[in-house]
Chains A and B, each alone.
Chain A
Amino acid sequence: MESYSRRWFLGAGATTLLTTGLTACGSSDSTGSSGTVTAFVYGDDATKVQVKAVTRFNASAAAKKAKGRIKLEKVPGTDYPAKLRTAMGSPNAPDVFFNWGGGSIKAYQEANQLVDLTDTIKSDPVLSSGFLPSVLAAGALKGKNYGIPMRGMQPVILFYNKSVFAAQKLQPPTTWAELLDINKKLKAADITPFALGGADIWPELMWLEYLVDRIGGPEVFDRIKNGDASGWGDPAVLKAAETVKQLIDDGAFGKGFSSVSYVNGGAPAVFAKGKAAMHLMGSWEYSTQLGKFPDFAKTNLGWAAFPKYEGGAGDIRNVVGNPTNYWSVNARTGNKDAAIAFLRDCASEAYAKDLVANGDIPTTSNAEKLLDSSPNPEFAKFQYQLVQQAPAFTLSWDQAVDPDVSTPMLTEINKLFVGKSSPAEFVSALKGLK
């Protein structure tokens, strides 16, 4: 039947053109239309604060004056740095984006893709006096400011399950010997001492960060951060790796930790359900638990500083983690005024109050007086004082160095934790990184 096949064929062709055309028309708006300012944010539980800020800003007079609306895009956490990189390399780059300062924005700065906010901050009293100076400085590169703080401070804290500790008659450890002792007692009671999201690798990194700091002091990593790869050869690094291996072999993290993920809620769940008694994690663990297991967070979640290592050079008051997260502005944005107007909201009291209500500690200068209205004033004050009194605050290693160093570094850490590398092999592999 000739007409059938000819018609059918032409129909196929027409459908193709139609659908292709439809999809071309329906594709998303690219940035550059001055009306919408796209903001990329790390898509976790804490985004609710940013969501509120966006709603508040879009309705405000400042938005009307700058003729811009913010569109918030929550990028799933596992992929955030890669998605940001691919987006920034395309014409559809975001106008404003979440980052950790340090190495995480170095590439963008070198490609001249960041707006230098130094002068904007200096000339604007809201911005210049709105934040803790040390935190603003931590978001700077070579003395120039590229980021405005937009989340709480995130030191890494040793969390513990109060009811498990009470049942086992334990106190949080202040020295390494005490930690090892607690480890033994918990194992005897058939409880996994520490929850660990090994699948994501950066939770494992936290152990090394603290141990290197406690054993050798913050100078060890400072050297590495400034580009000296031989810094990995410092004896503190080897000792930290050996200590970690000892912990793993003692069963401190249980058996399946390399398949458990923090990002998808596995490790928090293991901790909240009492399968593990302790969890070394950033302070956001509190708001995560508050969101996922509120009963546990409100009644049984305890916190302590990381213990001291006997004979080590590091001060017990030193802290590792993220000073905070920052908003940076893309130099190619179509509406710089709207972007910066949005950023000013981060210094406002309303924003700080939202952060506090979420269980975070703002890095704003007005933070201290707001702590009492936190859902957990005790925890808020503990955290605030921890950071305030810290002689040194080391930025998470994977954010402090370049991505082409941090990716192999994380792989080596993974191999150390799963037993594929010995501590000595671990150190020599790291020394070989650029």
Chain B
Amino acid sequence: MTQSAAAKAGRPHAVWAIPGVLFFVFFAVAPMVLAVYLSFTTWNGLGDPKPVGLANWQKLLHDDRLTQSLTVTVLLTVTSWAFQTVVSLLLGVWAAGRQRNRAVLSAIFFVPFLLSSTAIALLFYALLDPNFGVIHQDTLGSTSGAFLAIVFVGGWQFIPFHTLIYQGGARQIPDVLYQAAAIDGAGRYRQFFSITLPQLRNTATTSSVLMIVGSLTYFETVLILTQGGPGTDTAILPYLMYEAGFKSYDFGYASAIATFLVVAATALSLALVKLTGFGAMRSTREGM
């Protein structure tokens, strides 16, 4: 068999991918398209959607609540990302070390991830109840308290996961790089900034994309802990959408918010991926 024939043989026919693509298109992509369609209709859950043109979008552009919600969402995402990335990175690198005690502690650190978002939100909802919980002051009643509670709860739950990601990434950094640096006389902190951080670039991108898209799943946390409160101060976009859809039964408007949300999230993910060259699937070990 010639080289090229060997290369061509045994390649799976594209047909194999069809079931997966169809399934995904039906249950994920088609609803997305439908959401865009619904944003141009009005529907209250009963009967059929009725087209209303740009009415929902005009309402969206003039809605003060949307601006506030957008601000809160961005603030929450950025704060969570900063908090979680710093702690996960440090813990992950630390955990990559091979000491025995580090392994034991890492095992304990992982436990929060085993609980569901719902369970964790409930846990802190119970602990933060001003009358019957642990802290006898109204943490969730103040804007900053509620906001920080959400950031903290999100971190408590997801830092273990991202720590693992960074740990995996750190373990894969080839020793030779550190040895070379040590020979050059670089100290611990210098090695961290010059070797560890750059080598974790791909890991950081994976982790960050997952974190940012995942911070939209703080929906459960917001629903259970603060219900978007106090007032509307922690009503992130997903919550606003839920409220418009399942409390006001204005599904057309909710779909407009949803479409807006997806466009924003996609743009953000694309930007992140492009900025870090992740899409090319380049290895950090090029040239070795």
**Chain A residues in contact with chain B, CB under 8 A?**
81-82, 85-86, 88-89, 107-108, 111, 113, 199, 255-256, 258-260, 266, 269-270, 275, 403-404, 407-408, 411, 414-415, 418, 420-421
Contact = CB atoms under 8 A, between A and B. Distances in A.
Given A107-B44, A256-B138, A404-B250, A266 B231 contact: no
B233 interface: yes
A418 B227 CA distance: 14
B257 interface: no
B139 to A, nearest CB: 8
Interface string B220-238: 0000000101111100000
Given A82-B246, A113-B46, A414 B231 contact: yes
A276 B137 CA distance: 16
Contacts of A81: 247
Contact of B227 (A88, A107, A199): A199
B45 A418 contact: no
B131 A266 contact: yes
Contacts of A82: 246-247
B150 to A, nearest CB: 14
30 contacts: A81-B247, A82-B247, A88-B46, A111-B47, A199-B229, A255-B138, A256-B137, A258-B229, A258-B230, A259-B129, A259-B130, A259-B140, A260-B131, A266-B131, A266-B132, A403-B247, A403-B248, A404-B249, A404-B250, A407-B243, A414-B230, A414-B231, A415-B231, A418-B141, A418-B230, A418-B231, A420-B230, A420-B231, A420-B233, A421-B231
Nearest to A82: B246
A89 B45 contact: yes
Given A258-B141, A266-B129, 14 more contacts: A89-B45, A107-B45, A199-B229, A259-B128, A259-B129, A259-B140, A269-B131, A403-B247, A404-B249, A407-B248, A408-B248, A414-B231, A415-B232, A420-B230
Interface residues of B, number: 25
Contacts of B45: 85-86, 88-89, 107
A256 B150 CA distance: 18
B46 A111 contact: yes
Nearest to A111: B46
A421 B232 CA distance: 11
Contacts of A259: 128-130, 138, 140-141
A260 B130 contact: yes
A344 B94 CA distance: 71
* A-B residue pairs, 8 tightest by C-beta: A256-B130, A256-B138, A420-B231, A111-B46, A415-B231, A89-B45, A407-B248, A404-B248
A404 B250 CA distance: 7
B231 A89 contact: no
Contacts of B229: 199, 258, 414, 418
Interface string B122-166: 000000111110000110110000000000000000000000000
A172 to B, nearest CB: 25
Interface in B229-282: 229-233, 243, 246-250
Nearest to A408: B248
Interface in B98-118: none
A255 B141 contact: yes
